[in-house]
Amino acid sequence: MNPNKEPVKVGIIGQGRSGWSIHADFLRSVPELYRIAAVADLIPERVRQSASDLGCRAYPDAESLISDPDIDLVVVATYNPTHAKYARMALRAGKNVLCEKPFGLAAADVDAMAADAKAAGKIVLPFQQRHYEKDFIKVREICESGLLGEIVRIRICWHSFGRRWDWQTSRAMAGGNLNNNGPHPLDHALTLFGEAEPEVWAEAGGYLRSGDAEDDLKFILRAPGRPTVEVELSSIHAYGQDRWYVCGTRGGLHGDEKHLEWKWVDFSKMPPRPLDLASTPDRSYNSETLEWQTGCWNAPTSEINPGAGAPPPTGPVEDFYRNLHKVLTEGAAPTVSLEQARLRVATMEKIRAAAGIPAMLP
């Protein structure tokens, strides 16, 4: 930990979409909390430009950056198959580590990182910034309030329509929807599910991508006493559906990252309805007038996701990194604990097995 609260000195491995557009872009805006000391990338022009713009040291590879003694925190933002490798290397070199998604490709990766972190007396955590998205926070608040009664079913849809042909569509690069964006809706799903180990049903297919990884994924989480949570993460939906759909015993909720609506009934203010086995006099179905109460929420304009290809809103990234600073300097609880991260990676393994997705590269 850094009890004097001096800026945490950061080294970022990878200067692609995530390393540059998310991590470096935000960290440079909070010099009172973090100082980017070094960056590394395999593309010489990219790393030179980043180092020049950031005013930091440049390294041609991860190993050189990890060896830098003037770094407190290593951010691993490299190709998917290398996350655990570089995280473990940095931990063994005595660095704290923040690792991009996927946070390892198997629970064994997380166990190995945890063991290395314990041996070094350091911290390793996943970058789960979408845990701070305002729509998710509101959905969680409404579900936990009891307003909708017992939550029976939750549906989370990340729908889009379009072709991709980059490395993230290749199984050899641990690509596919589950590894690329799946850790985020899975984090939301398991949080609402209740952090229990779920039974998993899943199916996957590849339709519009140029590589051999899945671009259409659906999975369902079940366990006794838990809501059934269904997640669709798909690139073949020309007509995307609501991101959120929640069913409870008193009402429900629906909406997206921009707007949410919910309604509920207070049955305690209505007459009781005991079972009546007699035929209705007029052959009608049972019916009654429900006195609905309603609520809604609108996202701040600055927090609306601009869509694929554009940098995400900075709000969740800022909230995540401010929490991480407290973890590193004050011993605060992290956004997603290492134990929770292991459950998420283990659940991803179950999804792959259930959907018949071939094992990723180690």
**Tens of pLDDT, residues 235-245:** 999 999 999 99
303 confidence band (pLDDT: 50, 70, 90): low
The residues, ordered by sequence, that sit 6+ positions from 273 with a Cβ below 8 Å of its Cβ are: 286, 288
* Mean of per-residue pLDDT scores for the chain: 94
**Does the pLDDT value for residue 179 go beyond 90?**
yes
**331 with 1: CB under 8 angstroms?**
yes
DSSP code per residue over 4-26: T-PPEEEEEE--SHHIIIIIIHH
**SS3 state of residue 113:** helix
Mean pLDDT check: name the lowest of 167-176, 220-229, 302-311, 334-343.
302-311
What percent of the chain is modeled with pLDDT above 90? 90
What percent of the chain is modeled with pLDDT above 70? 94
**Does the pLDDT value for residue 335 go beyond 60?**
yes
Task: Map out the domains of the chain as residue ranges.
Answer: 8-127, 131-278+286-313+344-355
**Does the pLDDT value for residue 149 go beyond 80?**
yes
**Does the pLDDT value for residue 107 go beyond 80?**
yes
Spatial strand order of the sheet with 151-159 comes to 199-205, 216-222, 228-234, 151-159, 244-248, 251-255, 259-265, 292-298
Q: If you average pLDDT over residues 72-87, what whole number do you get? A: 96
**87 with 111: CB under 8 angstroms?**
no
**264 with 147: CB under 8 angstroms?**
yes
Q: Architecture of 8-127 per CATH?
A: 3-Layer(aba) Sandwich (3.40)
The residues, ordered by sequence, that sit 6+ positions from 90 with a Cβ below 8 Å of its Cβ are: 66, 74, 76, 97
**Does the pLDDT value for residue 161 go beyond 70?**
yes
Alpha-carbon gap, residue 36 to 314, rounded angstroms: 18
Full-model pTM: 0.94
195 confidence band (pLDDT: 50, 70, 90): confident
**Tens of pLDDT, residues 36-56:** 999 999 999 999 999 999 999
For the domain made up of 131-278+286-313+344-355, give the CATH fold.
Answer: Dihydrodipicolinate Reductase; domain 2 (3.30.360)
